[in-house]
Amino acid sequence: MTVEAPDRIIAAMRASVGSRGAAASTFDHVAREAGVSRGLLHYYFGTKEQLLVEVVRRDCDIRMAALDEQLAGARTADDFLDVLVRNLEDAVEHDPAFFTLMFEIFTVARRNEEIAAEMAELTRRTRAQLAELLDSKQREGVLDLAEEPDACAAVLFALGDGLALWALSEPGRDLSSTLRAGVACARTLLGAPA
């Protein structure tokens, strides 16, 4: 099965940002790595910034679909927390490019209103998806949320992103106690017994 050009372009941009950063990920680099013409990048995505947004959107969609599936089976708050922690640890260890991409696109969004609007919508949609799952688990009696589901989802994402930033900023440092502190915060939010 051949990978379609848009998928190759997205994969090439993701790899490029992970290794070079957003500024150095030119359409020339990405086109060469994807095995397509530069014109095809413009045809499918318009601008480099739009391509960056599409890469982040695709990553978030894939990650949230997997998280939804894994969290659907949570029968206790501890099950829920275990899934969140495993996903964070796995991403930091095996896919740090995901966080690099997120931090890079955040930086671009600070200077580009169009990208900022796209990212705000993606953030809202992703947070709403987790909030819906939190609300569902609360109705099932699995969780006893300390606040509204949307607020809890925002804080859980903030905890995960912050812990990932620290882990990637200090490779080799034992962050187990920091992770335990993050879990303690999440435990309070989710109403999990200590």
* Three-state SS letters, the chain: CCCCHHHHHHHHHHHHHHHHCCCCCCHHHHHHHHCCCHHHHHHHHCCHHHHHHHHHHHHHHHHHHHHHHHHHCCCCHHHHHHHHHHHHHHHHHHCHHHHHHHHHHHHHHCCCHHHHHHHHHHHHHHHHHHHHHHHHHHHCCCCCCCCCHHHHHHHHHHHHHHHHHHHHHCCCCCCHHHHHHHHHHHHHHHCCCC
Average pLDDT taken over every residue of the chain: 90
Per-residue pLDDT at 3? 62
Model pLDDT for residues 86-100, shown as the tens digit of each residue: 999 998 889 888 888
Whether 111 shows a pLDDT value over 80: the answer reads yes
- Round to whole Å and give the CA distance between 71 and 66: 9
DSSP 40-69: HHHHHHSSHHHHHHHHHHHHHHHHHHHHHH
pLDDT above 90 as % of the chain:
51
State residue 9's pLDDT score.
94
pLDDT reported for residue 1: 44
Distances (CA, A) of 185 to 31, 131, 154, 173: 44, 17, 13, 21
Q: Does residue 194 register a pLDDT over 90?
A: no
Tell me the pLDDT tens digit for each residue of 42-100: 999 998 888 988 988 898 889 889 989 999 899 999 999 999 999 999 988 898 888 88
Given a cut of 80, whether residue 2 has pLDDT beyond it is no
- Asked if 132 and 118 touch (Cβ cutoff 8 Å), the reply is no
pLDDT in the model for residue 151: 97
What pLDDT, in 10s, does the model give residues 120-141?
998 999 999 999 999 999 999 9
In the chain, what are the domains? 1-46 (1.10.10), 49-190 (1.10.357.10)
